[in-house]
Structure formats: structure tokens, C-alpha cells
């Protein structure tokens, strides 16, 4: 049976660690709130151009307006497409890596092609992917898959 180390020094140490973590979190939150408040004040006073940098209150109003017009539905669809694409890409990448690891011959044969595909900017494949699979969810998933996998 193992003894728990509940010494007084350990409790003091753990308490200090907790206080430090909480202090850091509170300071981080305070800095964000201060930054947003300062941004809002400077935009209202005209010191910074709110046309270029906008301002927090205007962004919140826009978000609330868009939320009533289906923004959250579109965010959900985008998250779905991204997660499916990247999970598929990760799984495909692992499968390809295992195959290339097991077969030295396939690894050597495919090496120059993988180097070329890896150096290709993936965003350049966008129009080609749209032509191949059509515009919509499938194209977005294939694009995320291409970015996440070896190809």
C-alpha cells in the first residue's frame, strides 16, 4: 500500500502553483478586456479610424444580426466539412505512411511524386477539385483532405 504524500510543504507548494495559475489566467483575461475597452474608447473618440479597424460594439451588433439570419447554421456546416476533411486526411495520411513504411520499393517509386505533390501549393488545386467533384460540401471536404494528407 502506497502512502500519500500529504506533507505540509507539498500542500504549500500546490497552493502556490494554483495561485500562480489563477493569477496568470486573471491577468490574461484582464488584458483582453482592457484591450477591447481601449479599442472601443479610441474608436468612439475618433482617435483610431473605426472604418478600418471597426470597433467591438459594431462587431457584436453585426454578429447578433448575422446570428438571426442563419450564421450559426453555416458555422456548423463549415465545422462539419472541416472536421470530416481533416479526419479523412489524417486517416489517409497514416494509411499511406504505413504502406510506404512497409514497402521500401513503393517508397522509392513514389518518392519523387510525393515531393512534387508536397511542394505544390494546395490552394492551387482548388479550381481543379471544383471541376472534378463539383462545388459544394464535397469539394470543401476533398480540399481539406488534400491539405491534411500527404498529397
CB 122 within 8 A of CB 146: yes
DSSP annotation of 17: H
Would you list the domain boundaries of the chain? 8-67, 71-148
Q: CB burial class (10 A; 0-12, 13-18, 19+) of residue 42? A: middle
pLDDT tens track of the chain, all 151 residues? 455 557 889 999 999 999 999 999 999 999 999 999 999 999 999 999 888 888 999 999 988 888 888 888 888 998 999 899 889 988 988 998 999 999 999 999 999 988 888 888 878 888 888 899 888 888 888 888 888 876 5
Amino acid at each position: 500500500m502506497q502512502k500519500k504524500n500529504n506533507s505540509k510543504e507539498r500542500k504549500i507548494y500546490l497552493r502556490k502553483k494554483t495561485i500562480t495559475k489563477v493569477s496568470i489566467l486573471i491577468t490574461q483575461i484582464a488584458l483582453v478586456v482592457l484591450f477591447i475597452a481601449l479599442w472601443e474608447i479610441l474608436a468612439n473618440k475618433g482617435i483610431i479610424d473605426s472604418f478600418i479597424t471597426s470597433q467591438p460594439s459594431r462587431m457584436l451588433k453585426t454578429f447578433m444580426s448575422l446570428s438571426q439570419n442563419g450564421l450559426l447554421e453555416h458555422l456548423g456546416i463549415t465545422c462539419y466539412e472541416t472536421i470530416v476533411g481533416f479526419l479523412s486526411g489524417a486517416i489517409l495520411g497514416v494509411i499511406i505512411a504505413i504502406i510506404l513504411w512497409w514497402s521500401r520499393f513503393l517508397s522509392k517509386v513514389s518518392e519523387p511524386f510525393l515531393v512534387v505533390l508536397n511542394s505544390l501549393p494546395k490552394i492551387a488545386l482548388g479550381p481543379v477539385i471544383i471541376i472534378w467533384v463539383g462545388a459544394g460540401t464535397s469539394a470543401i471536404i476533398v480540399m481539406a483532405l488534400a491539405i491534411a494528407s500527404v498529397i
